[in-house]
Amino acid sequence: MSPPVLSLRGVVKGYGAARALDGVDLDLHRHEVLAVIGDSGAGKSTLVGVISGNQRPDAGEVIVDGKPVTLASPAVARAHGVASVFQDLALAPNLDVVENLFLGAELTRGRLLDEVAMERQAWELLGQLAVRVPSVRVPVGALSGAQRQGVAIARSLLGDPKVIVLDEPTSSLGIRQTAEFLTLVERLRERGHGVVVTSHSLVDVHAVADRIVVLRLGRVNGQFDAALATQEELLAAVTGVDSPGSGGGRWGGSR
C-alpha cells in the first residue's frame, strides 16, 4: 500500500482536567474513506478540530505526506492540502454561491476579483459533484440544507486537497439527501482524495467507508475493515462493552 497521506501520532488534546484526545494514532491513504465513529464526548469533534487546523494539539504529531506539520489555522491546513467541511458548514449566508466557494481564495485579475473565471469554475465544480443550485448568484442563505452542504463540499475541493474532512455530514440531511451525499463521497474517493468522515450513524458509515476507527473516551478503541465488520462488533467498540450484542440497546438509546 502507498504511504499514508495523513497520519496522527500520539495526539493529545485536553480541556482543563479532561482529556478529549489521549494519544490517538491514525493513518489515512489516498483513495480511502476513513470513518471515525464514537459516542458523544468520545473525541470526534476534537479530532476533526486538530486535523482541520481549528484546534492545536497539546502533544503529538500531525504528518501530511510524510512531513510533520503545524496546522495553526484552517487556512494553514488548507495550504498543506487538508480541507474541511465543518458541521456548521462555515458558509456566509449573505454571500452568493460563487462568493462562498472562493471565500479566502478568490481569483483575481490584477488587483480586482475575476468574477468570470470564478463563476465558470463554480459551475464546473458543482457539475462534477452533481450539486444542483437554482443559480450560482443566489445568496447561500436562500438554499436548502443539502444544497448548502453541496456548496461547502465543493469549496473544500478547490485547490485539489489531498485530504478532505467531513464532520458529521449527514446529521442535518433527510433520507434521500443522505443517499445522494454518500454517492458524493464515493466520487471524492474516485478522484483520489483521502476522506475522513465522522458520524453518529453506523448505517451511513458502513455504506461508504473503507475503514472504520472507533473512538472511545479519547482513545482509539478498535479499527475495522468496513467490509468485514459487523454492526455488533462496532457497537461493542463504541460502547466499550466486550461481549457483542449486549450494547445494542444502549446504542439505540443514544441516537
Task: Please check whether residue 53 is in contact with residue 13, taking contact to mean a CB–CB distance below 8 angstroms.
Answer: no
Give 111 or 176: the residue with its C-beta nearer to another protein: 111
Half-sphere exposure in the Cβ direction for 182 (13 Å, CA): 17
Residue with cell 464546473: 124
- Cα 235 from Cα 214, distance rounded (Å): 9
Residue 111, class by beta-carbon neighbours within 10 Å (0-12 exposed, 13-18 middle, 19+ buried)? exposed
Give the Å distances, CA to CA, from 147 to 1, 3, 89, 117, 134. Answer: 36, 35, 11, 22, 10
Residue 26, class by beta-carbon neighbours within 10 Å (0-12 exposed, 13-18 middle, 19+ buried)? buried
- Does the protein bind another protein through residue 141 (CB under 8 A)? yes
Please select the residue that binds another protein; options are 63, 95, 179, 226, rule is CB under 8 A. Answer: 95
- Does the protein bind another protein through residue 241 (CB under 8 A)? no
* CA–centroid distance for 246 within its chain: 30
- Does the protein bind another protein through residue 80 (CB under 8 A)? no
- Does the protein bind another protein through residue 75 (CB under 8 A)? yes
Give 90 or 226: the residue with its C-beta nearer to another protein: 90
- Does the protein bind another protein through residue 139 (CB under 8 A)? yes
Please select the residue that binds another protein; options are 68, 104, 245, 249, rule is CB under 8 A. Answer: 104
Interface with another protein (CB under 8 A), residue total 39
From 23-31, 88-96, 172-180, 207-215, give the range in contact with another protein by CB under 8 A. 88-96
Please select the residue that binds another protein; options are 135, 175, 227, 255, rule is CB under 8 A. Answer: 135
Give 59 or 116: the residue with its C-beta nearer to another protein: 116
- Does the protein bind another protein through residue 155 (CB under 8 A)? yes
From 86-94, 202-210, 211-219, 221-229, give the range in contact with another protein by CB under 8 A. 86-94
Closest CA to 130 of 203, 214, 46, 188: 188
From 36-44, 71-79, 192-200, 201-209, give the range in contact with another protein by CB under 8 A. 71-79
**Which SS3 state, helix, strand or coil, does residue 253 take?**
helix
- Does the protein bind another protein through residue 40 (CB under 8 A)? no
- Does the protein bind another protein through residue 15 (CB under 8 A)? no
Please select the residue that binds another protein; options are 3, 72, 88, 144, rule is CB under 8 A. Answer: 88
Give the Å distances, CA to CA, from 121 to 43, 85, 133, 138, 159. Answer: 36, 19, 14, 16, 12
First vs last Cα of the chain: how many Å apart? 36
The binding site for another protein (CB under 8 A) comprises 54, 73-75, 78, 84, 86, 88-95, 99-100, 103-106, 108, 111-113, 115-117, 119-120, 123, 134-135, 137-139, 141-142, 155
